[in-house]
Structure 1
Amino acid sequence: MPRIGMEPLRRKALVDATLRAIGQHGSLDVTMSDIAREAGVSPALAHHYFGSKQQLLVATIRSLLTRLRADTVTAMEHLDTPRERLSAIIRVSFQADQFAPETVAAWLAFYVEAQRSEEVRRLLVIYSRRLRSNLLHSLERLCPPDDAARIAEGVAAMIDGLYIRQSLRSAPIGSTASIALTEDYLDLQLRPFLPAKLS
């Protein structure tokens, strides 16, 4: 008989193993057996909990998004200024666990899968809209709406672009450098508006 309380632990182990397996392969070309082996459970148990590889992939993306959202909320707690909140969003986007090579490879694989899977595409659209909304919320307190929308798109594009460059591994830049580049871009874009706001 299964031990009570083991299901959540095994589900999490399978989700974590999926992330590692995809990251190691650099694509979604992994089997349930590969994932189960990585998690230290039987393929039958993996199928029991998730039904199919597709359902496990979706659960893995949801887990990434849930963690990213929770980390963003925590990072922005007790921050008073919109500029501080923008920096918190950028820091969370490039924090060590999200910007680890395996996780970056998994994100890229999920974007490829979104071209075929409507459910995966929908989840990644949710991520994109949430990032834009978080950026806009602070930017609209610093500059006019049209400029806020333009800058939000630019920051989001920089974040996505730096993930793509990291995934290529030919010229990876670390988390600290990625944060600095994005902050430099944001400072440059906000420079015309900050004096008026601070006066």
Structure 2
Amino acid sequence: MPKVGMPKIRKPQLVKATMAVIGKVGLHSASIALISREAGVSTGIINHYFGGKQGLLEETMRVILRQHSHTVKTALKALPADAHQQRINAIINANFAGFQTQSEVTKTWLAFWSYSMHDDQLKRLQRVNEKRLISHLRLELKSLLPMDKANLVAVGIAALIDGMWLRGALTPDGINAQAAQIIINDYLELQLKKHQN
């Protein structure tokens, strides 16, 4: 029987190990044996806490999504509610900040993107994340643009964020957060000028 309080230690340890193993061998080869070895625990612990590999993968994605959501919300809380363009910039920048840009996290994101096409639960989590991003952007953009244009620009920004992530995850140097922020914020500026005139 696990000791009281151990889930608070073991679960994050196993999630971190999952990301490390996915970064080394990919999602398909990330076995329970490799993950438990990386975490320094028995394979039975994964089954106990997560019900197997699938449960651990889902929890890993949820952890990444929660951290990402926290980063975005923290950035938005620091700004006045009526500073719409600054808030959009903050949403963009939060997608390329801290935890989200760590090599193991980007590799895990990329693996989940690919795998979610064939897994209903991971697909649902990915859609929640996508809808949240577009919703945050649309909320701010509709104060600056007509609604149809706000929708279009929100989707454009989300596509650029995904594209910069994909390119960064596939290059040895990883995501260039500064370049991504400049490119996407430049697109935003151009769209605001185009549609506000």
Query: Please, which moves more after superposition, 97-106 or 171-180?
Result: 171-180
Q: Which amino acid counterpart does residue 130 of structure 1 have in structure 2?
A: R
In structure 2, the partner of 1:130 is: 132
Match of 1:99 among 98, 101, 105: 101
Q: Which amino acid counterpart does residue 140 of structure 2 have in structure 1?
A: S
- What secondary structure sits across from 1:119 in the alignment? helix
Q: CA deviation at 1:188?
A: 1.0
| Residue 117 (structure 2) pairs with residue 119 (structure 1) | no
| Alpha-carbon displacement from aligned partner over 1:134-179 (angstroms, at most 9, x marks no partner) | 0000000001001101100110000001111112216755111111
Q: CA deviation at 1:96?
A: 2.8
- Is contact 1:72–1:89 with CA below 8 Å preserved after alignment? yes
Query: Please, which moves more after superposition, 171-180 or 28-37?
Result: 171-180
Match of 1:191 among 180, 190, 193: 193
Q: What does 1:22-171 correspond to in 2, within 5 Å? A: 22-80=22-80, 81-169=83-171
- Structure 1 residue runs of 5 or longer lacking an equivalent are none
Q: TM-score, normalising length from structure 2?
A: 0.93
- Classify 1:173/1:69 alpha carbon distance in 2 versus 1 (closer, same or farther; 3 Å): closer
- Is contact 2:79–2:87 with CA below 8 Å preserved after alignment? yes
**Which stretches of structure 1, 4 residues or more, deviate above 3 A after TM superposition?**
170-173
- Is contact 2:67–2:99 with CA below 8 Å preserved after alignment? no
- Is contact 1:143–1:193 with CA below 8 Å preserved after alignment? yes
Q: TM-score, normalising length from structure 1?
A: 0.92
- What secondary structure sits across from 1:191 in the alignment? helix
- Is contact 2:64–2:105 with CA below 8 Å preserved after alignment? no
Q: Among the aligned pairs, what percent are the same residue?
A: 37
- What secondary structure sits across from 1:89 in the alignment? helix
- Is contact 1:13–1:39 with CA below 8 Å preserved after alignment? yes
- Is contact 1:33–1:43 with CA below 8 Å preserved after alignment? yes
- Structure 2 residue runs of 5 or longer lacking an equivalent are none
Within 1, Cα distance between the matches of 2:26 and 2:84?
37
- What secondary structure sits across from 2:49 in the alignment? helix
- Is contact 1:113–1:120 with CA below 8 Å preserved after alignment? yes
Q: Which amino acid counterpart does residue 45 of structure 2 have in structure 1?
A: L
- Classify 1:171/1:40 alpha carbon distance in 2 versus 1 (closer, same or farther; 3 Å): closer
